[in-house]
Amino acid sequence: MEKLVEFTLGDEVIMKKPHACGTNLWTISRNGADIKIKCNACGREIMMDRLEFMRKLKKVIKNEETKG
C-alpha cells in the first residue's frame, strides 16, 4: 500500500507524531536517499531514510508562495 508523495527541498511537512517540543511543522533540509527534516520551532534536525520518512509523513505543505 504505497502512496506516491511529491516533496522537494524547502517544503514544509507535517509528521504523524509531533516533535518533543510540541510542534509538528518541519522543513525538508535534505532530499536524497536519506531525508533530513528540521523542526520549525526548535531547529532540531533529524535524518531518516526515505521509506521511514514516507511512513511517518502525514502531509506536505508546498512552500512555493512564500519562496524568495
Interaction of residue 19 with Zn ion, rule CB under 5 A: yes
The CA angle 17-59-5, to the nearest 5 degrees, is 125
Interaction of residue 15 with Zn ion, rule CB under 5 A: no
Q: Are strands 26-31 and 34-39 parallel, antiparallel or unpaired?
A: antiparallel
Q: Considering only residues 8, 9, 16, 21, which one is a binding residue for Zn ion as defined by CB under 5 A?
A: 21
Identity of the residue, 2 or 29, whose beta carbon is nearer to Zn ion in the bound complex = 29
- Tell me how far CA of residue 30 lies from CA of 1, 14, 22, 25, in angstroms: 25, 16, 22, 16
Interaction of residue 36 with Zn ion, rule CB under 5 A: no
Residues near Zn ion, by CB under 5 A? 19, 21, 39, 41-42, 44
